[in-house]
Every structure is written in structure tokens, then in C-alpha cells.
Amino acid sequence: MTSTATSDGAEPKRPELSDGEFDRLRALIEGEFGIALGADKKPLVLARLGKIIATEGYASFDDYYRELVANRTHAMLSDLVDRISTNHTHFHREAAHFDFLVKTALPDVIEPHRARNQRDLRVWCAASSTGEEPYTLAMLVRDFLGTEYASWRAGVLATDISSRALDTARTGVYAADNVARLPEPLRRRYFAPVAKGLLQVDAQLRRDVVFRRFNLMNEKLPFKRGFDVIFCRNVMIYFRPETTRALVQRLYDATLPGGYLFVGHSEALDRSWSPFEFVAPGVHRKSSAVAAAPVARKG
């Protein structure tokens, strides 16, 4: 599509969004990304997609929808989810989970590795947003292992559906207010000022985190091995129950026996269907008695 502008340079008038257009767009969004938009989200879709309709030469929202359906290019779908998704987070969010990680989960999963002389700790942040959560995880893992860290393979895999969020995450640059909730020792050790009101994550810690774009709706997870710890927080609140159940099963299959899954405090997994054992609010564990199953691979 070709960008358009009015003769006086003013922003073009944004078109209206009919109920039918909204229904078609939200069905596409849910099918591609699992995000279920209720009827109350129509103003949000109008606000976030209206500009692209007005400036990129689309005659209507249906015109834009038809091109999405016809092409389904990575670039178009990536731009769509970037515009629709919300990336509101901060360092050390839901701090009780990080306390549990350090005091209970890491000791539980690391000791068996030590006993087998297998120094390979696998941590996956499955909805990394702009990077605050995976960097927090990397700090805590590095601090927990201390002088042993260099002898371990203990980086963090961080994935998200939003390319824009991942671009921000890779820079490791954050407003000082965003970092303020981290314990002071972590702030001092892992951040340096780069401009007024801005801090950057230490270069070594940035190397500890590998960022990749990944859609959690993929039916097959592209991992050769399972994970000791998975954080997938504040994602399933946007999904329908059946989508949540399917995702939880995939996460279970990707978790090593004895491994932990952390979800948001508002994302309680129903014990009647969850294959995980409930441990604490937002904390679930795969039984260590379960035989390790191969993780389904892509392709």
C-alpha cells in the first residue's frame, strides 16, 4: 500500500470501523495469536489500527483485512500484533515469584543437575515483552550460582510475539523509574546510566539473554530439550479457556520433570484439568516422577 496524506500535510481522516469489520479482524487476531478481543475492545482496535488505514492507502478496514488474509506476510502480521498487543511491565513485577524462584525453585532444579554433573540450567521466559522479566531472571540466576556461574550453561531464552517489544528488549535501555522496584544491590550491579533518566543493562548480562520472536500459538514447540523453569505470566488472561488449556499442555510437555511453571497471579490454572501440580499462587510444578518426554519439534 502507498502512504497517503492530505494536500496541506494534515493527517488523513480515519475511517469508521463497522461491527462486521471488527468481527472479522478480531477473528483473525484470535486465530493467529490467541488474543480474544471482546466487544468492548472495538474502540481499542479503531484507535490502534485507524492510523494505518488512513495513511497507508486502504479504502476501509475490510480492504486492510483482505490484504492480511490474502498475503499473511510476516511483516504485516508482525505489524498487526505490534499495534494490538499491550506491553506494560516493569522489573521485579509480582516479586513473590522471584523470591520463590531463588529460595525454592532454583535449589530444587539445580541440585539434581549437580548430582549428575550436568551443569545445564534451562530457563525460558515465554512472553518476554520489552525484556524486564528475562533480565530479572538472568540477574537472579547469575547471583544464585555465584562463582559457579562460569562453569554452567545458564542463559535465559526470551521469546515474544512482538518484534517491536523485542527490539526494545535487545537494547537493554530503560527509564530509571522502570528499574526502581529492583532491589538496590541488583540495580547497582547490573545497570549503568547512559543518559538522563535512562539506565542500561550490563553488557555481560545482555549476552546472557537470547531474544527470539515466537508465537505461542504454534502447535509444535521448536525445542530439542525441555526447560527447568518457564515463566509465562500475564499472557493467558487474553486467551479463551480452550486456548489456555492447549497452551498449558504444550508448556507441560516442554517442562523437564521436577521443573516449574510460573503464570500471572490472576491466571489460576484449574486443577481439574491442569497437568501441573499446584505449588503456590501462580506457581506450578511438573512431577519429578514423570518420565521425560521428547519435546515436539517444528517441521
Radius of gyration of the chain (CA): 21
Spatial separation of the C-alpha atoms in residues 201 and 168, rounded to whole Å: 12
Helix, strand or coil for residue 137? helix
Give every strand in the sheet of 209-213, ordered side by side. 209-213, 156-160, 123-125, 227-231, 255-262, 283-285, 277-280
Task: Please tell me which residue in 26, 122, 142, 160 is annotated as part of the active site.
Answer: 160
**Strand 198-201 and strand 173-175: pairing?**
antiparallel
What is the full DSSP assignment across 187-213? HHHHEEEEETTEEEE-HHHHHHEEEEE
Residue 125, CA distances (Å) to 130, 135, 147, 211 in order:
12, 10, 24, 9
Task: Please tell me which residue in 48, 83, 181, 187 is annotated as part of the active site.
Answer: 48
- Asked if residues 288 and 256 have their Cβ atoms less than 8 Å apart, the reply is no
Segment holding 159, helix H or strand E: strand 156-160
Q: Which amino acid is at 85?
A: S
- Assess whether 160 carries a catalytic annotation: yes
Helix, strand or coil for residue 23? helix
Spatial separation of the C-alpha atoms in residues 39 and 37, rounded to whole Å: 7
Q: Which amino acid is at 168?
A: T
Q: How many Cα neighbours within 13 Å face the side chain of 108?
A: 18
Residues annotated as catalytic are: 48, 160
